[in-house]
Amino acid sequence: MPVFRCPGRAGAAIIRPHIESSSGNHLKKSGKPDTRGPRIIPRAAHNVSRDDVSKSALKVLYRLNKSGYQAFLVGGCVRDALVGLHPKDFDVATNATPEEVRALFGNCRLIGRRFRLAHVRFGREIIEVATFRAAANHVDDDVSHDQEGRILRDNVYGSIEEDVWRRDFTCNALYYNIADFSIWDYTDGFEHIKEKKLVLIGSVEQRLREDPVRMLRAIRFAAKLDLEIDKAILDDMHEHVDRIANVPAARLFDEFLKLFQAGRAEKTFDMLREHGLFAQLFPATDRELDEDETFADFVRAALRNTDRRVDEGKSVTPMFLLGVFFWAPTERLAEIRRAEEKMSESQALSLASYELAAEQQQRVSIPRRFTVPMREMIALQPRFTATRGKRALNLLSHRRFRAAYDFMMLRAEVGQFDSELARFWTEVQTQSQDDRADAFQLQRKPRARRRSRRRRRGPKSSQPS
C-alpha cells in the first residue's frame, strides 16, 4: 500500500513559503531542496496565463482547490508556457491522495503500479493527477529498485517540498498555483529557463542510474527548447550510456515517439548520435550510418520531412521513419538472403525487414501494427522499376502505395532512385484511364457499342378465319 506521511488538507500548513526578490538557489550542496521554502514568482512577474491551460485542467484544479487541497500545474505545461510554446498535456500535482481524487471526480480512474496516478477523463482529453511524492526512508515504504538502481515502483506520498526532489530537471520542477496564479520555484528552474540551461536536480549519477531514460529526456528537452545540457549530465551520460539497455523495450518505444514526432527530429537525431545514445536504440542503423554517406543523407531527408509535416500540422506515422532507419540494414541483409536462397528482390526485402524488426524488439519494442505495414512498404520498392503491364498498373491500387511512393520519392531526392522513374509515378497518378493505359503500354479496352432500343410492338391481333 502507498505510504502517506503528511496531512491531506491544505489547511494543515504543509509548507511555509516565502517570497524572495533574488534568484537565490534553494538547493543545498547535497542537491536536496532547502527547507526555507520556494521562491514565489507572482502572476505579474511571469507569462503563464490561464488562457494557455485547457478548460478540463482548470476544472480539476479549481475543484481540488475548493475542496481544501493544494492544486498545482507542474512539469512540461508550465515550462512550455514560459518559453512561449502552446502546452498540450497538463499534469496536476496535489496533496490529495489518489483515492481522495477519485472521490471528487466521477470521471476518474486510478492507474499504475510503478506510480499510482489518477486519470480524470473529459471526452478524449485526460488530465493526469499525481499526489506529491517523497523519498523512501522507512522499511515499509512502497518503493523498490532493481539491481542497477532503476526505480521499479515509487508510491511514497509527502509534501510539495519533498515532491520537488522526485522530479528530474529544474525546468520541470515549476509549480503553477491555481490559488493565486503564482509559480513556486524550489530549484532555480525559472532562472535556468531564462539562461537556457538544462540542469538535473540532485546527484546526477544517482538520478541517471535510477531512471536511465532521463538521458533521452535530456536530449529531447535540449533539442525542443534549445537548451545547453549541463556538463555534469553529459559526463555521466558518456560514461554510462549502456544503462539504456536496462530500460524495458516497450518504454523505449514511447520515448522514440516523443523524440522523433515533436517537430525537432533532425536536431534530436544529431544529438543522439553525438552522445552515443542512438546506437543504443538502433544499433544496426547506427552501423550503416557510419559506413554509408548516402544512407545518412536519406535519413536526414526523412527527418526534415517529418519536421516539416509536424510544423504544418499534418499527421506523421512512426511506421515511415522506422522504415527509413531499417532501409540500409534491410538492403544489406536482403542481398545475403538472395545469395543463400533463390527468391525475388521483394521477397528478400520482406524477409530481411522481418528479421531486423524481430531483432530490434530487444532494444525498442515496436508494435506489430507498425512493423507489418513497414515491411510491406519496403518490399514494394523494387516494383517501382517496372512501368509496363498490368502488374505495374496494379501497384497504384495497393494499400501501401502512398507510403511506398513517398518512400521512393525520398530515395530519388538523395540520388538512390532514378529521377525519371520517380517522375513517371508522380504523373501517372493524375492521368485519365486512357492515358494511364498508354503509359503502362496496355491495350485500350474497346468501348462497348451502344445497342439501339427497338420499338416494342404489341401482340398481333388474331384474324377471324
Residues assigned a catalytic role: 89, 91, 168
- Based on its alpha-carbon atoms, the radius of gyration of the chain, rounded to whole angstroms, reads 30
Residue 295 CB neighbours (<10 A): 22
Bridge partner residues of 108 (DSSP): 120
Q: From the CB of residue 57, how many other CB atoms can be counted at a distance below 10 Å?
A: 25
Identify the bridge partners of residue 123 per DSSP, sorted by sequence position: none
- List the end-to-end C-alpha distance of the chain, in Å, as a whole number: 110
**Residues paired with 3 in a beta bridge:** 156
Query: Do 275 and 386 contact (CB within 8 A), yes or no?
Result: no
Instruction: Dihedral sign for Cα 110, 116, 118, 119, please.
Output: negative
Cell 522504415 locates to 323
The letter for the amino acid at 386 is A
Distance CA 318, CA 339 (A): 31
Torsion of CA 261, 263, 264, 269, to 10 degrees: 30
Question: How far, in Å, CA of 60 to CA of 54, rounded?
Answer: 10
